[in-house]
Structure 1
């Protein structure tokens, strides 16, 4: 008997924010914490907590560098994280009955602004 696709889903990617984080990193290969926070419209605390969970699970690599005295945190996928992401994506597509197709650099990454982009997100900081 074959394994049902739900059994191949990666538990750490079942939370919507963690799924969004990984999808954004995969689409950009590497992203700063600040860019990720602004793109996802979440608080620093929420993003930090979920990034820590993904790092502990071995899916994401978090590196800190300093520019002067300012810390810059950058996130990227680990090799194991990329494999597990692809497995999760394939299992999810099978579960909902859609073709997985290749994940390529030409696929949209969700950067297009939604129709209601003029409405600020409650956690997003205003830019001056």
Structure 2
């Protein structure tokens, strides 16, 4: 059985990783709004994921407004997949599944 990844397991980080797994990249403000955290909390989580090598952060401008985008790195995509598999293993021990039938 795989171990849960403590970097990913924090609820907001798990949400961020899940959202990023479904897209090529996402804007900081979208991720902040979807997770329901403040700018500063989102920034701390993004930095933690970047430090772990799980996300890549790109800064730029749309018009004159600064923007920040995040995307999963190949390492992050693999770590997220392993984390989800570990969650499946844990839930399977109870005889249940993560996806309702």
For the aligned pair, the TM-score class normalised by the smaller chain equals 0.7 to 0.9
Instruction: Report if aligned partners of 1:65, 1:73 keep a CA contact under 8 Å in 2.
Output: yes
Paired position in structure 1 for 2:86: 91
- Which residue in 2 is equivalent to 1:120? none
* 8 Å contact kept, 2:53–2:76: yes
The answer to whether the 8 Å contact 1:89/1:100 transfers is no
Normalising by structure 1, report the TM-score. Answer: 0.68
List per-residue Cα deviations over 1:30-70 (Å, max 9, x = no partner).
11001111112111001000110000000111100123432
* Aligned-CA RMSD value: 1.8
- Contact 2:91/2:97, CA 8 A, preserved across alignment: no
Cα deviation, 1:80-112, whole Å, max 9, x if unaligned, reads 1001111111011011115689xxxxxxxxxxx
CA contact (8 A) 1:59 1:80 kept: yes
Higher helix share: 2
- Moved runs in structure 1, 4+ residues, more than 6 A? none
Count matched residues: 96
1:44 aligns with 2:39: yes
Distance in structure 2 (CA, Å) of the matches to 1:35 and 1:61: 16
Residue 32 of structure 2 aligns to a residue whose secondary structure is helix
How do 1:55-94 and structure 2 match up within 5 A? Answer: 55-94=50-89
Normalised by the size of structure 2, how large is the TM-score? 0.85
CA distance, structure 1, for counterparts of residue 55 and residue 11 of structure 2: 16
Q: Which runs of 5+ in 1 are unaligned?
A: 102-128
